[in-house]
Amino acid sequence: MGIPDVLRRFAFRLRSHLRPDADFADMQDELRFHFDREVERHRAAGLSRRDAEYAARLALGNLGAAQDAMREATNWTWLARVQMDLRFAIRSLSHTPAFSLTVVGTIALALGLNTMVFTIFDAYVLRPLQVRDPGALHGVAVTGRTNENSWTDWSLPWDRYLDVAGLSGVVSDAVAYRRAFVRIDRMPTIGQLVSGNYFQALGVRVERGRPLLPEDVSVPGDGAVAVISHAMWVSRFGSDSGVVGRTLPIRGRPFIIVGVAAPAFTGLTEVAADFWAPVTMAAVIDGESSQADAGGWPAVNVVVRLGSGIGAQEATAAIGLRLLSSSRDSAGATRVTGARLQSRATLVPMTAEDAAMLTPIWVAFGLVLVIACANVANMMLARGLARQREIGIRLALGAGRRHVVGQLLVEALVLAIPAAALGFLVSRVALAVGVDVMMATFPPSYASFIRPVEMRGDLRVFAFMLTGAVAAAVLFGLAPALQVTRPDPVAATRGESEGGMRQGRLRNFLVIAQMAGCTLLLIVSGVLMRGATRALVLDPGFRAGGVVHLEVNDAQRRDVLTALHRFPIVEDVASTTNPARGLFGSVAVSLLGTSQVRPMYFTRVSPTLFETLQMPLREGRTFTEVEATDRLSVVVLSESAARLLAPGRSAIGSEVRLGSADATLAQEGLADVRTAKVVGVVADAVAGIVLTRRDVPIAYYPADVATTGSLLVAVRGSVATAARALETALERELPGSVTAILPLEESVAAQIYPVRAASWVATLLGAVALVLTVSGMYGVLAYLVAQRTREFGIRMSLGARRGVVVREVMGQSLRLAAVGIPIGLANRVGDSSHLLLVDAGYPFVRSDGLCDGCNRDRGGKRTGRVVAVASSRLRGSSERPSRRLAMALAATREVVRPAGSRAPN
């Protein structure tokens, strides 16, 4: 069919729909013309005008019916019908404002919570970065293998970055960045040290001034300029229009501000950056740790823009090949195997596995929506039954069932759309409150690193809401609509609405579904709450209280140490390469003379660390100062490591060999340590995140506090006060020396925080589900009881005792619970929440720690408690209707009795 015909067709229908009056007039005109011609014909044949008109009418048939048929023929009558349905729905719903508001409120709450989750998801995962053609951007990682372990490293040496950037046929641009944490006027600040082409290649606008340019980033150690973020411009410089040319003191060096980035751009990573500075300043900003062997150029994260027509697979192969060939000549046992590319079109790149990991969250929130819909479906059902007479009359008058169902669905939509609008408000409020709560409850030293991105209600959120609203309308509207349009019109017009078998079944199903969903959510929140409680009292194997984690400028490190020892509040100073954050590196270790190789975590610590962190020595001794400074080949093992290497005997005095010298080892300065003598065994502690298991094997190698690792300072008195005092004193004596200062216990709290937050969210969801379920059950049971009042009245008048009837109603609800609760339990959320934690980056969730509850208690105590809670709740919600029933019955008996007693007369 040609395009013009399609258009003509559409225009025709549109006209008949939009201008029905004009269309109708045309139709009449046409028919009138026909009629007149017919009359003329008969007149010509000699009939009188009257007879001619009569004959014409006879020949042409029913005019009105013809017009109706013509209108039907245009096909768009359904649209007109929807409009009528809409008007009718709005009218009939406004007659029952309490019902309408309850429905809207219920759906809005559930939809709002879901929208909140989606908005967060959208902001991080779906919203494209504010750069030119974000779809072509890909992060580049080098993949490799060490022993049997394959690894992926997103941090590339500078030379590899140049290699990748040189593949001009494959990538059109390659930018490099590395994150830097600094303190500017005691404010923790996040910077991105970037390559010279960063702004231009990404196509990022600057609001004022100029972007960083390649000439700013040419010589290592040079280029003390910076572009600041819009947020920093507002907060730190008060939106000063003359900010360009002012300076930013970073590590005691003044960086000249050359520009302010556009407000929408916060960098390529999920944590918003405060400033961008040349990567050539890495040595100044990061100190020694960033120094690689590339002549002062540091390791960087690389993002490429693929050339036009180049697919990700093709690019992965080409880049992999380049990385492979260039790493051949570099020494070491690390085998590079290729490259990995990941889309960087949004803040958080998401793979299928990541998305799968989020499933439990979606399910939990989705469940609340389903419970809300079940609630409303029940209300709609009750309302539908009350309207059965009206519906019956309409059916009896010849309305098609399809039309009546359609009308009821339109009513559901009329409720769902304002619910979506209100839900949007709910989501905005929930987001704002959520961010505030998080800021208020997060460990204060870390709170400044939390930078929620702007949560906008954009087109995707709108589409999500609309889909959600329509889905909800169908969920809560369709089943009741089908249900109430089923009955026999004759009975319905007489006002008899016997809730038949099917209605009862639907209602029971809805109640059971609610119970099951609610039970599920309560269990999840129970497990997570317990996990959070336990996390707070978990013993990670070291003390976190009374210790300050201090990061200092390498150049001033020795002066800082001297100063620290002078301060009276300082008890002790130690250092470690893993100050209770991040996971330890791992290495294959074997006992000399045996072939068995054991994978182990390793870290480097100063001799005083064990004492500072109060990790008890089980055997042997710790390092001596000499061993630390001269990096002698000695090692202290954790109890588990000792057991693993020398089961059943003392490991002291044995020699251990490091499996291979890989890149991680080199980074930790252990490349030359081939064998080491075991001098001591210390108690077990976690290797990194505090929620992980404690009984992991760890090898502690010596480090010199004067040169290596983060400083851990044991202080007297309150840690917060001490930290402030330390920083003040150090800033006074050695300006710019402190780059980070954090109470260690706050680091621990920050690690536990996700579990606590998850438990709060789960509790909130559980509470909402509980309220919805209780109110839903109450409604259903009250309705059921009201419906059966007549039956009960008759039974009681026949001699049934009040207790029997009450028991029966209770029994009915408990039977529903007896089905619903086990279904909820059967989902074994204990396991799934456990999996969630494991997935969420806690790979060694301890068997004695967070999650044993879900194993030990499954089918046991917890289940019992949940059942008790659920059934007491159920009792509560059916007791009141029962009691009201009893009161109603008393009245009924009065009415029925005299009637009954009169009967024999």
Partner 1 sequence: MPTDRRLDVLQGTLDMILLGLLRGGRANAWDLTNAIHATSRGTLDVNYGTLYPALRRLESRGLIAGKWGTSENNRRARFYELTASGKKALRDERDAWERFTATVGLLLDSR
The binding site for partner 1 (CB under 8 A) comprises: 1-2, 4-6, 8-9, 12-13, 16, 26-27, 29-31, 33-34, 36-38, 40, 59-63, 65-66, 69-75
Question: CA separation (Å) from 637 to 608, 699, 865?
Answer: 15, 5, 43
CB of 5 to partner 1, least distance (A): 4
Q: How far apart are the C-alpha atoms of 604 and 390, rounded to whole Å?
A: 81
CB-CB contact of 753 with 442 (8 Å)? yes
Cα-Cα-Cα-Cα dihedral sign, residues 843, 847, 853, 859: positive
Phi, psi of 486 (to 5 degrees): -80, -35
CB of 17 to partner 1, least distance (A): 11
CB-CB contact of 489 with 395 (8 Å)? yes
CB-CB contact of 614 with 602 (8 Å)? no
Q: What is the token pair recorded at 474?
A: 């169908």
CB of 397 to partner 1, least distance (A): 23
Helix (H) or strand (E) holding 121: helix 97-121
CB-CB contact of 562 with 633 (8 Å)? no
CB of 14 to partner 1, least distance (A): 11
Cα-Cα-Cα-Cα dihedral sign, residues 859, 865, 871, 874: negative
Written as one string, the DSSP assignment of 515-563 is HHHHHHHHHHHHHHHHHHHHHHH---SS--TTEEEEEE-GGGHHHHHHH
Select 16 or 710, whichever has its Cβ closest to partner 1: 16
Q: What is the token pair recorded at 160?
A: 């590899």
Phi, psi of 705 (to 5 degrees): -60, -25
Q: State which amino acid sits at residue 624.
A: T
Select 71 or 724, whichever has its Cβ closest to partner 1: 71
Select 78 or 462, whichever has its Cβ closest to partner 1: 78
The percent helix, strand, coil of the chain (3-state, each to 5) is: 55, 15, 25
Select 23 or 571, whichever has its Cβ closest to partner 1: 23
Report the candidate in 395, 415, 391, 387 with the shortest Cα–Cα distance to residue 475. Answer: 415
Select 6 or 887, whichever has its Cβ closest to partner 1: 6
CB of 398 to partner 1, least distance (A): 20
Select 69 or 393, whichever has its Cβ closest to partner 1: 69
Report the candidate in 613, 631, 603, 609 with the shortest Cα–Cα distance to residue 622. Answer: 609
Select 32 or 880, whichever has its Cβ closest to partner 1: 32
CB-CB contact of 362 with 117 (8 Å)? yes
- SS3 state at 250: strand
CB of 51 to partner 1, least distance (A): 19
Phi, psi of 676 (to 5 degrees): -145, 150
Question: What DSSP state is assigned to residue 122?
Answer: I
Select 37 or 790, whichever has its Cβ closest to partner 1: 37
Q: How far apart are the C-alpha atoms of 557 and 565, rounded to whole Å?
A: 12
Q: How far apart are the C-alpha atoms of 342 and 301, rounded to whole Å?
A: 12
Select 33 or 78, whichever has its Cβ closest to partner 1: 33
Select 1 or 537, whichever has its Cβ closest to partner 1: 1
Select 57 or 387, whichever has its Cβ closest to partner 1: 57
Select 15 or 657, whichever has its Cβ closest to partner 1: 15
CB of 205 to partner 1, least distance (A): 49
Helix (H) or strand (E) holding 679: strand 675-682
Select 62 or 728, whichever has its Cβ closest to partner 1: 62
Q: Helix 861-902 crosses helix 744-797 at what angle (to 10 degrees)?
A: 20
Q: Whose structure tokens read 């589900």?
A: 769
CB of 45 to partner 1, least distance (A): 14
Q: How far apart are the C-alpha atoms of 796 and 793, rounded to whole Å?
A: 5
Q: Where are the beta strands (DSSP E) in 224-356?
A: 225-228, 247-250, 253-261, 275-278, 300-306, 335-343
Cβ neighbours of residue 2 closer than 8 Å, sequence gap 6 or more: none
Q: Whose structure tokens read 């060999």?
A: 657
CB of 67 to partner 1, least distance (A): 8
Select 74 or 92, whichever has its Cβ closest to partner 1: 74
Strands 225-228 and 275-278, by their bridges, are antiparallel
Per this entry, what is the length of the chain? Answer: 905
CB of 28 to partner 1, least distance (A): 11
Q: How far apart are the C-alpha atoms of 441 and 756, rounded to whole Å?
A: 10
Select 74 or 633, whichever has its Cβ closest to partner 1: 74
Select 77 or 467, whichever has its Cβ closest to partner 1: 77
CB of 79 to partner 1, least distance (A): 13
Cα-Cα-Cα-Cα dihedral sign, residues 685, 690, 694, 697: negative
CB of 41 to partner 1, least distance (A): 9
Q: What is the token pair recorded at 526?
A: 């129970």
Q: How far apart are the C-alpha atoms of 686 and 665, rounded to whole Å?
A: 20
CB of 769 to partner 1, least distance (A): 50
Enumerate helices (H) and strands (E) in the chain, giving the number of each: 30, 23
Phi, psi of 293 (to 5 degrees): -90, 15
Select 62 or 359, whichever has its Cβ closest to partner 1: 62
Write the Ramachandran bin of 824: left for phi over 0, alpha for psi from -120 to 50, otherwise beta: alpha
CB of 809 to partner 1, least distance (A): 57
Q: How far apart are the C-alpha atoms of 116 and 128, rounded to whole Å?
A: 19
Select 72 or 240, whichever has its Cβ closest to partner 1: 72
